Structure 1
């Protein structure tokens, strides 16, 4: 009976994984269809694959948009981790007055929808001459991800006994040395999982990208939206662009899956 249950559970797990992954699989397949086959109903399973959509997409300058996204997202993720990890460490390890109020203030910034601040942000950046620049999106994406980094990393630091910090000080290490050489390695899975989530959120962000950039700093989501025209939706080309866009996140998730699972199960689910 136990063996049968194990087999059924395995089948159910594979089925659930397939259902979850199926939209990505269908998007990948659609990228190799011509526009006529991409929109035909019912969908065609058997077709003559073509690279026409990818040729058109790469001929439309997707490399520039990929480069913009890579620069903006990588820098903003690193900044969010540096600031968020530092803030989470201070809030977790040191007895600060009103630490809970500070944490609530961090998370409260996520409650305001982006569309509610887009007009004042646009006016401010226009006055500063930052429209259509990498710096504008780097600042916004960093600010957007800092609350996530603080709350996730705090749960990891809370699992580390304060006596460990004191022992490093007794051994003669400075606060910075103890943090870099002792504490930070212990929360490495948390840093990786937090960084990956910050990367994904920044990589997929659309509203600020389409509102604050024009040509020089537009990102991948903006480029993807360019295939939604008055003539209709070009599903084949959009699928090719979307497949290219999700590859960096999939590759990063694949290579960091061990640390990601360990981080999410050990720290992020705790209060």
Structure 2
């Protein structure tokens, strides 16, 4: 009995500390976005203050925030769709290949996700520049799609393996080609996995800074790059950057809220089998 209570107390304490560690920084960013500069820099943090929208106005009018937002939306959506389509097709091909080499090839793809991203910056930068796409939105689209592909292939292979072989065999008997089987049979069944892969890939692209900073120009800055411009050599515009960061969090929170059941299914069902 005592051990049970101690176990529950330890779990509650661990969850409480984790919640504080996760939530407090987000709350600080949100509250700072509604504070004046004087309230932000008080020695004793102000819990009660008069909210103001001046930081949001400055972010939109003086920080070209709307342009950063549209650039990020374009890069995240397009790169994610490319990665999902090609990743699911690759996973279908590897599972359908049904060879001892399919797992080795899949693990080889996963190694690409385990390599530090910064080590791939120079090769991708060279390829994008040689293609004449440096400074355009195509650069981060290509980079983000390439970086997300290994994980999506690995995740979707788990889901496609769970599809009963009888369904594919029945489709072949009915005269369906492999691609018809893929679109009519496989895709509807693995939609939860695709939804999970979509939100995880889009979240990465939405928040990615390193590649976006190196592959874009002032006209094609994404949100993380645009927010980084609020940090000066001498001072930081905490109010404007907090407002921009708050708005940046909203789309991912909304999308995550609506597809959370698919994320739970996708990350626990298809990914555990190999």
TM-score (structure 1 length as normaliser): 0.90
Residue 50 (structure 1) aligned to one of 40, 49, 52: 52
Residue 270 (structure 2) aligned to one of 264, 267, 271: 267
For residues 130-151 of structure 1, the C-alpha deviation after alignment (integer angstroms, 9 at most, x for no partner) is 1110111111111111001101
Unaligned runs of 5+ in 1: none
TM-score (structure 2 length as normaliser): 0.89
Q: How far off its partner does 1:27 sit?
A: 1.4
Give 4+ residue runs of structure 1 displaced > 3 Å after superposition. Answer: 7-18
Structure 1 partner of 2:162: 159
For residues 10-44 of structure 1, the C-alpha deviation after alignment (integer angstroms, 9 at most, x for no partner) is 98798468523332222111110112222333321
Go from structure 1 to structure 2 and tell me whether the alpha carbon gap of 1:58 and 1:187 turns closer, same or farther (over 3 Å shift): same
Aligned Cα root-mean-square deviation (Å): 2.4
Distance (Å, rounded) in 1 between the aligned partners of 2:17 and 2:171: 47
Distance (Å, rounded) in 2 between the aligned partners of 1:89 and 1:52: 51
Do the aligned residues in 1 keep the contact of 2:69 with 2:223 (CA within 8 Å)?
A: yes
Structure 2 partner of 1:123: 126
Unaligned runs of 5+ in 2: none
1:126-137 correspondence to structure 2 within 5 Å: 126-137=129-140
Residue 187 (structure 2) aligned to one of 174, 184, 189: 184
- For this pair of structures, how many residues does the alignment match? 268
Which one is further off, 232-241 or 77-86? 232-241
Distance (Å, rounded) in 1 between the aligned partners of 2:267 and 2:114: 22
Q: How far off its partner does 1:244 sit?
A: 0.9
Partner secondary structure for residue 269 of structure 2: helix
Structure 2 partner of 1:223: 226
